[in-house]
Homo-oligomer: A and B are copies of this chain.
């Protein structure tokens, strides 16, 4: 892997047992030396719970998405908010990503600190502190390309006022956000969008560089309905982009069109590109693909594959790379086991964690698949409720490995996650910046 970002400060950073997951009695060591310690998830030396990333699955997903975007001709700016891990950003860039997407100026600053030089903030730039920081970063990093969203005249005027206080060294570059009635941010009508485009084009501070939208919040899982919705939304993007192009609203030298989460990126990749008077750069922003999951995105990927033709149907899809392991601390009733993980350790916002592995030291050489009828039905802050058959062979002390649903909300619960090989030997550690 090319050292495409400046990760030395992460690797040199001392980690100690005050970081959740680090072995209690181990002396502090630089994060970059963790992979050389010979630690193993299943041999009893590590505390539980542990969130781990499987190297092989991560590498598979990097290659899969590289192949997918290459086959479709779109660029990828993976959403960094998923992992907020510069080490993973470096892998994504090394696998061909055009840049990194973020949600906040804090996340932008983390990207810039570690050397990312193309960033889309798929969110409104707003606020005195945020605008000042963007102006500062653009001045101190002449090679930084940074695009943010604008969806209202009020926001545009606020940026102009706030930027003027800091004498920007160059013009700010915005994407106009198209929204959906009943949705989140974004202009709700063509008229509103065109009025805003005209105002941006007339701004002495901000350039209009493209059109953006996000289809992910309206997806239903019904493939035909989702395809119709996303196709319609991409047509609306084209319509506004074409009108802006005709009216000379884009500053150029190219026009960015961007959309795409990890649930319907196939339709986005197919429908987003178009021809305009300047070169068009179609940029997908999928984030969750990188570790994938065992819940929401696993279900959505089935639709992606079904829609993507024989070549992609025959091929293995994305692999779930993120697992949370915990221990059975009690089996107070025959059909109930309590696990040592909770809301602080694993996603619970879209689905509960999905039990996938069981392991008993002394009995098992490697994890066994968990029975299909095991279900986590609830979590407290520090506990999970695992429902099992009354005669299930599961004991106090056994380990249970769960897949998760929605990687974003597991990553943000860990300051450091171990990476593991296929035998759950620890190969290194990933540092997050939430």
Give the distance in Å from the alpha carbon of A124 to the alpha carbon of B338 in the complex: 10
A152 lies within 8 A of chain B by Cβ: yes
Chain A residues touching B, range: 35 or more
Copies in the complex: 2
Type the 1/0 row for A399-434, where 1 means its CB is closer than 8 Å to any CB of B.
000000000110011010000000000000000011
A18-B113, A105-B24, A332-B151 are contacts. A129–B396 as well, Cβ < 8 Å?
no
Q: Which of A205-213, A233-241, A297-305, A376-384 contacts B (4 or more CB under 8 A)?
A: A376-384
Partner of A330, one of B25, B151, B338, B409: B151
In angstroms, Cα B340 to Cα A254, docked, is 30
Does A117 have its Cβ within 8 Å of any Cβ on chain B? no
CB < 8 Å: which of B25, B103, B331 contacts A136?
A: B25
The answer for the CA separation of A259 and B22 in the assembled complex, in Å, is 30
- In the complex the two chains form, what is the Cα distance from A413 to B409 in whole Å? 10
What 0/1 readout, one digit per residue, does chain A (187-226) give for beta carbons within 8 Å of chain B?
1100000000000000000000000000001000000000
CA A185 – CA B104 in complex, angstroms? 41
Given known pairs A151-B332, A332-B188, the reply for A44 and B128 (CB within 8 Å) is yes
A327 to B127, CA, bound (A): 8
Of A29-37, A271-279, A341-349, A363-371, the stretch lying at the interface with chain B is: A341-349
CB of A73 within 8 Å of the partner chain = no
By the criterion CB–CB under 8 Å, are B381 and A103 in contact? Answer: yes
Known: A25-B133, A45-B128, A154-B395. 11 other contacts (CB 8 A): A23-B129, A24-B109, A24-B129, A25-B136, A47-B105, A124-B340, A126-B329, A151-B330, A155-B397, A182-B333, A184-B385
